[in-house]
Structure 1
Amino acid sequence: MRDVIVIGAGGGGAVVAKELAAHGLDVLVVEGGPRHAHPRQEWSRLENDANNPLTGYLRVGQADRSKPAAYRELPQNSFLWQVSGVGGTTQHYFGNSPRAYPGVFAGYQGPDTDMYDVQHRFPFSYSDFVPYYEWAEATLPVHTAPVGTKESVYLRGCETLGLPVQDTKTTLGPSYRPQENAILPPGGRAGLTTDPAELRHPTSTGCTFCGHCFQGCAAPIDAPRNLFAKRSTDNSYIPMALTADAWSPGGKPITLVTDATVTKVRTERDVVRGVTWQDNATGEVSSEDAAVVVMCGGAVETPRLWFNSELPNPNDWVGRGFTDHYLDWTFGLFDSDVGSSKGPSSAARTDYPGYGMNMNVGLMPGIEAFAMTFSDSGIRGHYTNGRGLTGPWDGETGRLVGPELKDVLMHGLDRILNVVSIVDDDVTADNRVTLSALPADENGAVPKVRFVNRGRSKRSVRNREFLAHRAAELLRGAGATKVYRMDWPALPLHTHSTMRMGHSEADSVVDQTGETRAVKRLFIADNSALSNAAGGPNPTLTTQALATRTSEHIFQRYFGGDPWVRSQAPTVSTDGRVTRRLSELGL
């Protein structure tokens, strides 16, 4: 019998595994996707090879890419973009690690209080949560991003908006700044050369400005895994969890099972007993018992597993409250090179508490083309789907075709500056994950992700329009000769709140410790546990801080341990002992 079984090794599960392994617990992690143990040999930088949602190495599905990707029913115009495997969606995230806005936490009394989703706040204060942010920031670690050409152009546009520069990790009002990124800063020759011979570790350390964040990070060449630049959890928390005995007194390395899908969480009298999983390659079924189980499959797969396990749902809030930041995309054309494809994909941001945030994004050609041909407003000049929104951009919204598209493409990738708007989306009961009536796959009924009439509150729509207008004004101020707004359909990259933590039993699944209200000894520690959309900032750091907090509660409540976040200094994942131990393990 294990002490703890963690389901999923993504942004949250890897954190729980590392924290509890460091304190000597016997932790088993079961991950439904592959582990890319040697990404330099297993990955390419080809965009289709990486990102194709059906066959890419960064897809939702099992390790064998000749087999179908995992299916989700999406009854509305939308595209759900996630990744399975060790590291989860952090494998292709941009490393952006801002804190949530204080206004989404209990007890907030700022002048903009009513600007937030006041009915669905975190059930503790921002000040109480800060130590967990600091712990995660030191562990990853998080740094202020380096500023390259595209960031300089973006920040130049910010200067024309009349906003102050933010110089603290806590966002107190409208402001702009370089990103707080979980990417190791460039050292040595990194960022100073394009000579491959000089972009090898240790001549170069940290980010080498390759521009391939979305395809997974394996830079610099020859660096050990825990010194890869982007701190996705396959490069940070998982290496620490696998080597817990090397760097933590009394630590015990985790057991990691990959390419194996958990099909049932087993309970007895509403107390968790263990899990059952199936090997994706062989079909072999295994079961183990545990004192505690932590579900970390993400905002879609966690409620799916709950339903397929026939666990109790007394208040009917399992799967409800799905928020996704209601993204939009605005871009400008420039007469000079703005370096869009170079460096970290996103390294500058503008915060608007109560609305959300804008940030610059630099992409490779394939994903850039996808972003510019993805619209709810139809095709500009041909049809608008009844939308055709107007504002401080050129013409109406919609995808580009014909001469306009040719004009954009002739400018070239590095003369395009992109701004993505990330909205503080309201928790809405009708936006939800349920089980589909379509045929089940080998692991049970598949999930259905539903937005009723796009499921957006008036506040969410207001927020999105505000941010899109500010994005266009920023691009004009930065010197763009033309500005286009796409009016994206739903593109859930940031998904949260389907197993939300809350004050009230009436509209939450887990209590303030992360333990489920309906099943004892069962915890949730992924994005689905977030109480709300975090105000708009990228969710990963908040999920990782919350997973740290939940781990501490597990250790105290069920294993008689003492809390550690306020009493110990965090051990960062670039510790030399981890490097040596990883080398010994051939990892």
Structure 2
Amino acid sequence: MRDVIVIGAGGGGPVVAKELAAQGLDVLMLEAGPRHADPREQWTSFENDANNPLTGYFRFGPTDRSKPAWFREWPQNSFVWQLSGVGGTTQHFYGNYPRAYPGVFNDYAGPDRAEYDVAHRFPFGYAELVPYFEWVEATAPVMTAAMGTKEQTFFRGCETLGLPVQTTKTTLGPSYRPQENAILQPGGNAGKTSDRNLLTFPDATGCTFCGYCFQGCMRPVGAPRNQFAKRSTDNSYVPMALTADVWAPGGRPVELITDAYVTRIHTERRAGELVATGVTWRDNASGAEHREEAEVVVMAGGCTENPRLWFNSGLPNPNGWVGRGYTDHFFDWVIGAFDDYTGHSKGVGSSARLDHPPYGGLENVGLPPALTAFSTALSDSGIRGHYTNGRGPTGPWDGPGGRLPGPELKELLRHGVDRLLAILVITDDDVEPDNRVTLSALPADENGPIPKVVFQHRRRSARTNRNREFMARKAAEVLRGAGARKVYRIDWAPLILHVQSSMRMGESERDSVLDANAETRAVRRLFVADNSALANALGGPNPTLTTQAVATRTAERIFRTYFGGDPWVRDGSPVVSTDPRISVRLGELGR
């Protein structure tokens, strides 16, 4: 009998595992995908090798890449970009860690309160979450981003909007700033040279400005795993979880099993309540099934897999909200062509942002060449000028939105990608009940009935559409102000990447799966600790920091409720030792 079983080792699961292991609990973490224990040997900088959704090492599938990726059904023009494996989708994220806007919490009383999704607020106040934000920011650690030419260009455009520079971690109003991200600052030779011979650890530490964030971080060369620059959970929380006995007095190391696909959550009746008792998991290599019992089970398999597992386990869904509210950030892509060098493909992928509550935000995003081509072709409007779907066909950009045709694309890229500046539009979306995960009628795979993602992309709320149009125009204004000679709006089809809320916590049992402690209302001792637990779209900020702050709070609630522990977050002090000797030691353990 385990104390806790955590299902999934992506962005949220390792947080709960690490926190509870530090308190001495016996924690088993099961991950359906692989563990890339030696990225220098297993990864490359080739974009297709990493990101091909069928064969790439960053795909949703088992370790053995000769086997097919796991299939989901999505009947609309969309792509669910989720990764399996230790680190989950944080393996290819850009490390951006902004806090959620205060307006999405139930204690917000600002004059623009009604401009948010007030029907789907967090069931606690922003002030209550601040110590947990601080805890994660200290643990990751989160730092002000290292910047270069593309960020300088972005800020030049922001200056023309008349907005202030944000100087606080909490977003208080429209403003712009460097990103707060979980990427170690360059040290030593890093950021000062492109000579590979000089960019080895410890002569170079932190970000080396390689520009390959989306292919996974494996630099500086020679660094121990937990000194890799980008603090994806495979480089941060997972090493801490696996070595909790080293750095935490009384801590107990987490047991991690990979290629372990959980197919069922088991329950029993106790005193009239349904209670989680354990799981069955399947070994991807052998096909053998194993059963594990636990006092508490934590679901952290992601917004698509959590509802699938719930349905395949036959768990009750009394209000019909399991899988509903599948929410993204209604992304759009606005790109500017410049006469001068911008460094679009160089350095940290995203180091500058503009926040504009209650509408959403903008991020400067740099990409290597293949992903730049992908981003300019992912349109819901078809070829530019040939089709319009009624969403802002005209505006402060050149011509209608849409994918660039051949001659215009050649003109855009004739000087390469480093005279471009790309801005990602991140919209504050309403939680839409009709956006949901159900079980597909297509044949089951080896792990049971597969999920179907139903996404009403073209039936967003009026507020969501208003927010996206507002932020797309702001993006064009930034690019014009920065000196772009041409500005193009791509009108992205749904790239379901910042996805959240499919197992949402909420103020009312009528439209939420989780209570304020992230425990499921229908099954006791069953918790959710990933993006699917989030109550809403956060106002637009990237979800990782809020997910991990909520997961830390959830771990504390588990410890207090079911293991008789005391709260450990009081003043935002970090639980992780900052002693560099311990930090290096963790990497040397090679776990």
Task: Give me the TM-score of the superposition, normalised by structure 2.
Answer: 0.98
Q: Is the 8 A contact 1:21 1:252 kept in 2?
A: yes
**Alignment partner of 1:53 is 2:57:** no
Query: How do residues 471-482 of structure 1 correspond to structure 2 at under 5 angstroms?
Result: 471-482=475-486
1:420 CA drift (Å):
0.4
Would the alpha carbon gap of residues 111 and 192 (structure 1) be closer, same or farther in structure 2, given more than 3 Å must change?
same
Partner of 1:336 in structure 2? 340
Q: Of 541, 566, 569, which residue of structure 2 is paired with 1:565? A: 569
- The alignment yields a C-alpha RMSD, in angstroms, of 1.2
Q: Structure 2 counterpart of 1:532, which letter? A: N
Would the alpha carbon gap of residues 573 and 297 (structure 1) be closer, same or farther in structure 2, given more than 3 Å must change?
farther
**Alignment partner of 1:556 is 2:563:** no
Would the alpha carbon gap of residues 277 and 169 (structure 1) be closer, same or farther in structure 2, given more than 3 Å must change?
same
Query: How do residues 86-485 of structure 1 correspond to structure 2 at under 5 angstroms?
Result: 86-269=86-269, 270-384=274-388, 389-452=393-456, 454-485=458-489
Partner Cα separation in structure 2 for residue 484 and residue 580 of structure 1: 46
Q: Is the 8 A contact 2:265 2:280 kept in 1?
A: yes
Partner Cα separation in structure 2 for residue 220 and residue 410 of structure 1: 32
Partner Cα separation in structure 2 for residue 550 and residue 507 of structure 1: 20
Would the alpha carbon gap of residues 577 and 313 (structure 1) be closer, same or farther in structure 2, given more than 3 Å must change?
farther
Would the alpha carbon gap of residues 455 and 322 (structure 1) be closer, same or farther in structure 2, given more than 3 Å must change?
farther
* Unmatched 5+ stretches in structure 2: none
Q: Is the 8 A contact 1:44 1:50 kept in 2?
A: yes
1:271 CA drift (Å):
0.4
Partner Cα separation in structure 1 for residue 587 and residue 387 of structure 2: 58
1:33 CA drift (Å):
0.5
Q: Is the 8 A contact 1:102 1:126 kept in 2?
A: yes
1:452 CA drift (Å):
3.0
Partner Cα separation in structure 1 for residue 390 and residue 157 of structure 2: 31
Per-residue Cα deviation, 1:90-123 (whole angstroms, up to 9, x for no partner)? 0000000000000000120011111100010001
1:572 CA drift (Å):
3.6
Q: Which moved more, 1:423-432 or 1:565-574?
A: 565-574
Per-residue Cα deviation, 1:205-249 (whole angstroms, up to 9, x for no partner)? 100000000000011011111111000000000000010010000
Q: Is the 8 A contact 1:377 1:388 kept in 2?
A: no
1:580 CA drift (Å):
5.1
Q: Is the 8 A contact 2:224 2:588 kept in 1?
A: no
Q: Is the 8 A contact 2:226 2:587 kept in 1?
A: no
Partner Cα separation in structure 2 for residue 584 and residue 170 of structure 1: 36
SS of 1:17's partner is helix
Q: Structure 2 counterpart of 1:506, which letter? A: R
Q: Is the 8 A contact 1:141 1:573 kept in 2?
A: no
Would the alpha carbon gap of residues 455 and 17 (structure 1) be closer, same or farther in structure 2, given more than 3 Å must change?
farther
SS of 1:483's partner is strand
Partner Cα separation in structure 2 for residue 561 and residue 458 of structure 1: 46
Partner Cα separation in structure 2 for residue 16 and residue 254 of structure 1: 11
Q: Is the 8 A contact 2:247 2:576 kept in 1?
A: no
Partner Cα separation in structure 1 for residue 577 and residue 48 of structure 2: 31
SS of 2:135's partner is helix
1:374 CA drift (Å):
1.2
Q: Is the 8 A contact 2:147 2:348 kept in 1?
A: no
**Alignment partner of 1:81 is 2:85:** no
Q: Is the 8 A contact 1:190 1:199 kept in 2?
A: yes
Q: Structure 2 counterpart of 1:219, which letter? A: R
Partner Cα separation in structure 2 for residue 422 and residue 488 of structure 1: 11
1:192 CA drift (Å):
0.4
Q: Structure 2 counterpart of 1:435, which letter? A: L
**Alignment partner of 1:23 is 2:27:** no
Q: Is the 8 A contact 1:105 1:126 kept in 2?
A: yes
1:571 CA drift (Å):
3.3
Per-residue Cα deviation, 1:321-371 (whole angstroms, up to 9, x for no partner)? 111000000000000110011111000000011110001000011110000
Would the alpha carbon gap of residues 2 and 429 (structure 1) be closer, same or farther in structure 2, given more than 3 Å must change?
same
1:568 CA drift (Å):
7.3
Per-residue Cα deviation, 1:375-399 (whole angstroms, up to 9, x for no partner)? 1111123333565710000001111
Q: Is the 8 A contact 1:246 1:577 kept in 2?
A: no
Partner Cα separation in structure 2 for residue 307 and residue 577 of structure 1: 46
Q: Is the 8 A contact 2:153 2:342 kept in 1?
A: yes
SS of 1:313's partner is coil
Partner of 1:541 in structure 2? 545
SS of 1:232's partner is coil
SS of 1:369's partner is helix
Partner Cα separation in structure 1 for residue 104 and residue 384 of structure 2: 37
Would the alpha carbon gap of residues 260 and 97 (structure 1) be closer, same or farther in structure 2, given more than 3 Å must change?
same
1:567 CA drift (Å):
5.7
Q: Is the 8 A contact 1:377 1:386 kept in 2?
A: no
Partner Cα separation in structure 2 for residue 375 and residue 586 of structure 1: 43
Q: Structure 2 counterpart of 1:505, which letter? A: E
SS of 2:487's partner is strand
1:197 CA drift (Å):
1.1
Q: Which moved more, 1:448-457 or 1:461-470?
A: 448-457
Would the alpha carbon gap of residues 26 and 444 (structure 1) be closer, same or farther in structure 2, given more than 3 Å must change?
same
Percent sequence identity is: 70
SS of 1:487's partner is coil
Partner Cα separation in structure 1 for residue 573 and residue 423 of structure 2: 37
1:574 CA drift (Å):
5.9
Q: Is the 8 A contact 1:224 1:579 kept in 2?
A: no
1:259 CA drift (Å):
0.9
Per-residue Cα deviation, 1:272-319 (whole angstroms, up to 9, x for no partner)? 110000000110111110000000001111111001101111111000
1:402 CA drift (Å):
2.2
Partner Cα separation in structure 1 for residue 76 and residue 50 of structure 2: 26
Partner Cα separation in structure 1 for residue 239 and residue 23 of structure 2: 16
Would the alpha carbon gap of residues 136 and 362 (structure 1) be closer, same or farther in structure 2, given more than 3 Å must change?
same
1:573 CA drift (Å):
7.2
Q: Structure 2 counterpart of 1:278, which letter? A: R
Q: Is the 8 A contact 2:3 2:26 kept in 1?
A: yes
Q: Structure 1 counterpart of 2:325, which letter? A: G
Q: Is the 8 A contact 1:239 1:578 kept in 2?
A: no
Q: Structure 1 counterpart of 2:65, which letter? A: R
Q: Which moved more, 1:385-394 or 1:546-555?
A: 385-394
Task: Tell me the matched-pair count.
Answer: 587
1:409 CA drift (Å):
1.5
Q: Is the 8 A contact 2:385 2:399 kept in 1?
A: no
SS of 2:118's partner is coil
1:405 CA drift (Å):
1.1
Partner Cα separation in structure 1 for residue 549 and residue 21 of structure 2: 17
Q: Structure 1 counterpart of 2:228, which letter? A: F
**Alignment partner of 1:501 is 2:514:** no
Per-residue Cα deviation, 1:387-442 (whole angstroms, up to 9, x for no partner)? 57100000011111121111012031000100000000101111101111111110
